[in-house]
Structure 1
C-alpha cells in the first residue's frame, strides 16, 4: 500500500474514469481548471494504491504560501468502498502532508438538507470525518447557494476558528474569481 503524488496525466485518468461516477456532475470542476491550479502548484493530488491499483484519491487546493489544505475531492473507488481504505488513506495523508498545519473540509450542512435521504447521507459523511479526527469549527460557507459547515483536521497545528477562517479565506481568494466573492462565495462565523 502506498501513497502517490499524482501527475497531471494521473489526474486526467482519474477525472475521466472515476470522478464522473464518484461525484454529481454539477460538483466537478472542469479538468482544465484543475490542471491550471496544478501548474500553479496550488492543487496537490494524491492516490492510494495497493499492488499498483488505485483504491482512493484526494485532490487538495491551497493558497500560495498557505498553511492549510482544502480537501476538494475525496473518494474511494466504487469497487473498494466499505473496506477501510478511506480511513487508512486519510491517516496516511496526515503523515504525507506534514508540511501543512492542517486540512480544511467543507461538508454540506445537515440543516440545509432537502429531504431525509439527503440528511442521512450528510450525517454519514460527517460521521466518517469525525471518526477520523476532524473537528467542526464555528465557521460556515455558502458556495453557489449550497451551505457548508467547516471542519478541520490538525496535522501540525491545533485549530482555532480565526486561524481556519483566515486560511480558508486565502484559499477562496486563490481558487475563486474576485467577482464571485460576496455574490456566490460567502464565508462567515456561526
Structure 2
C-alpha cells in the first residue's frame, strides 16, 4: 500500500466516484472550491492506494499563519473496504507523516437530541472511533449547518491557540463556521448554499 498525494485527475475521479456518493450534499465542498484551496497551497488530498486502486483518503486543510495545526476535512474509506481497519490505519499514517508536534483537528457530527435514533447512534459511533484512535474532545463547532464535535490528535497546545488556529484554517470568509459553538447556538447553513 502507498499513502500519497493525489494528482488533479485522481482528485477529479475521487470527487465524482467517491466523495459525492459518500458525504451529504450540505457537507460537500464544491470541486472548484477544493481546487482553489489546493492552488493556494492550503489543501492536500492524500490517497491510500493498492496499486492504482484507491482504498481510502484524507483531505487536509491548513493556514499558512498557523503551522502545526491541520484540519482533517474529510476522512473516508471506499465502500468495498469499509470496516476493515483502514480508517484507523490512515489516521496512524497521518500521525507518522506529520509527527507528534502537529495537531490534527477533526470534526465529527454531534448527536442531536430528538433526532433520528439511527443517525444519532452512527454519530456516537464515529466520535467513538476517533477516541479509540487516540483523539480527544475539544469543543463543539457549527459547520455547514451541522453541530460537530471537534477532536484533536496530537498536542493541541493551549485551548486559545487551538481555537484561533481552527478559525484561521477556515479564514474570515466562512459565515457558516462558528468556533466554538455555544449550547444555545444554531449552526448557520452551508456557505456554498446547499440545503441542510
State the TM bucket, normalised to the shorter chain: 0.7 to 0.9
TM-score in terms of structure 1 length = 0.87
Name 2:173's counterpart in structure 1: 177
- Taking structure 1 as reference, are residues 54 and 98 closer, same or farther at Cα in structure 2, changes over 3 Å only? same
SS of residue paired to 1:171 = helix
SS of residue paired to 1:114 = coil
The two structures, once aligned, show a CA RMSD in angstroms of 1.9
Deviation at 1:120, TM superposition (A): 0.3
- Taking structure 1 as reference, are residues 113 and 37 closer, same or farther at Cα in structure 2, changes over 3 Å only? farther
Quote the Cα distance in structure 1 between the aligned partners of 2:17 and 2:8: 14
TM-score in terms of structure 2 length = 0.84
**Of 166, 178, 196, the match for 1:186:** 178
Moved segments of 4+, more than 6 Å? none
Task: Number of aligned residue pairs: give it.
Answer: 181
Greater helix percent: which structure? Answer: 1
Name 2:129's counterpart in structure 1: 128
Quote the Cα distance in structure 2 between the aligned partners of 1:100 and 1:7: 27
SS of residue paired to 1:125 = helix
- For structure 1, list consecutive stretches of 5 or more residues without a partner in the other structure: none
Deviation at 1:111, TM superposition (A): 3.8
- For structure 2, list consecutive stretches of 5 or more residues without a partner in the other structure: 183-196
Quote the Cα distance in structure 2 between the aligned partners of 1:68 and 1:113: 34
Name 2:6's counterpart in structure 1: 6
Contact 2:57–2:77 under 8 Å retained in 1: yes
Deviations 1:37-75 (A, max 9, x none): 000000011001123321000111111132211111111
